[in-house]
Amino acid sequence: MTEDKKQASRLLRGIHRTLTGLHPALESVLAAIVGLLFGALIMWVWGYDPIVAYKTMLLGAFTDKWGLADSGAIAAPLVLTALTFSICLRAGMFNIGAEGQVIMGGLAAISVGFFVLPSGLHHVVALVFAMVAGGIWAIGPAILKLTRGVNEVISTIMFNWIAHFLSIFLIGAVLLNPFSADQTIAIPPSAIFSKLIRGTDLTYAIFIVIGFALIVYFVLWHTAVGYEVRASGLNPSAARYGGIKNKRTMFLAFVLGGISAGLAAAVILMGSSATHAMYRLHGQLRNIGFDGMAVAMVGRNHPIGILFSAMFFGGLNAGGRLMQLSSSPVPVQMVRLVMGIIVFTMSVPELARVFPAVKRHSVGLVKEMKRLTSSKGRR
């Protein structure tokens, strides 16, 4: 019995070490591959041809200029919302309020339609508006957490809904487009980013996104402020011992995250869509915040990793549209399924550690394996 137990825990430790000992980047790649394989399995079960589908998807998303441009256009806002999640996670908090901060950023960006400014300046004003609005929306949960100890998971979800309904009101009452009842005024052409590649959704805003990711990287790893954020996220008591004010770093991380989310809305609204307005149920902005969390996870909460993982998810989405046009047309929902599996796979190393039940079962597993091998030997 004890011998079996020992072997079981050795086996588990081995699996665990293999899973966690990988380089983080490799782990992400492994999760992506597992996700794609599992997606293929499901396609196969339902009678689709996974090889044709994936070929269409990957070739469409990553091989030509237009495919890459579309992938990049979808990736751009995801980078920013992923940063929202990652910055807060680095500071030790679980901020899932990007969704609401995106909505508020979007409303602010659209409000520049009320005044006339020269192009260029108009861009800047719209971007600043969006960032400030996103940042302000993040202050609410931050203050609740720092003064009253309200869990940020709860408060950010609440703030998401507040933003949702507030936006419905504002779209219907303040920003209303007189010619179309379910959408806002349009962002004037003087505040629209021009296309980087004609015929695609990719605009010059992509440079702002990459620039912002690099700035976040430098702030976190090369400044004293970022050092304090990371220190207090990893070990708040040691940070306090080191003279760091944890509340200040938490507040900073929240606001910086909000700014990033607000910017994500501006990047979408000031570029990709043809109407440049927000709809009552904000179709273009929906799920940007939540998808960002998946991107952040696969990107290992590192700004540079996030750039790559956003491009991967962007490619999945852009190529996924083509998948339904292939000779073996697969529903586009398959893309979200693959994304879900990837997120699950990413958390497997943690699962191995968390559940002691796994250990108990593995005792039985080892016994069973022994029985099998010994009976084989007899034969």
Contact pick of 119, 151, 223, 347 for other proteins (by CB under 8 A): 223
Write b or e for each residue in 332-368: b if 16 or more Cβ atoms lie within 10 A of its Cβ, otherwise e. eebbbebbebbbebbebbeebeeeeebeeebbebbee
Q: Which is nearer to other proteins, 204 or 241 (CB)?
A: 241
Question: Is residue 18 at the binding interface for other proteins, with CB under 8 A as the rule?
Answer: no
- Piece of 119-127, 135-143, 225-233, 311-319 that binds other proteins (CB under 8 A): 225-233
Question: Is residue 227 at the binding interface for other proteins, with CB under 8 A as the rule?
Answer: yes
Q: Which is nearer to other proteins, 255 or 285 (CB)?
A: 255
Q: Which is nearer to other proteins, 230 or 321 (CB)?
A: 230
Nearest distance, CB of residue 143 and other proteins, angstroms: 21
Q: Which is nearer to other proteins, 51 or 225 (CB)?
A: 225
232-251 footprint of other proteins as x/- string (CB under 8 A): --xx-xxxxxxxxx------
Contact pick of 12, 108, 231, 265 for other proteins (by CB under 8 A): 231
Give me the residues paired with residue 180 across strands: 177
Segment holding 38, helix H or strand E: helix 24-45
> CA-based angle 128:215:28, to the nearest 5?
115
DSSP annotation of 195 reads B
Question: Is residue 63 at the binding interface for other proteins, with CB under 8 A as the rule?
Answer: no
Q: Which is nearer to other proteins, 221 or 355 (CB)?
A: 221
Question: Is residue 228 at the binding interface for other proteins, with CB under 8 A as the rule?
Answer: yes
Nearest distance, CB of residue 371 and other proteins, angstroms: 23
- Collect all residues with Cβ–Cβ distance below 8 Å to 331 and sequence separation of at least 6: 324
Residues recorded for the chain:
379
Question: Is residue 222 at the binding interface for other proteins, with CB under 8 A as the rule?
Answer: yes
Q: How far is residue 345 from each of residues 153, 253, 317, 351, 358, measured CA to CA in Å?
A: 23, 28, 19, 10, 16
- Collect all residues with Cβ–Cβ distance below 8 Å to 24 and sequence separation of at least 6: 300, 302, 305
Q: Which residues bind other proteins (CB under 8 A)?
A: 222-225, 227-228, 230-231, 234-235, 237-245
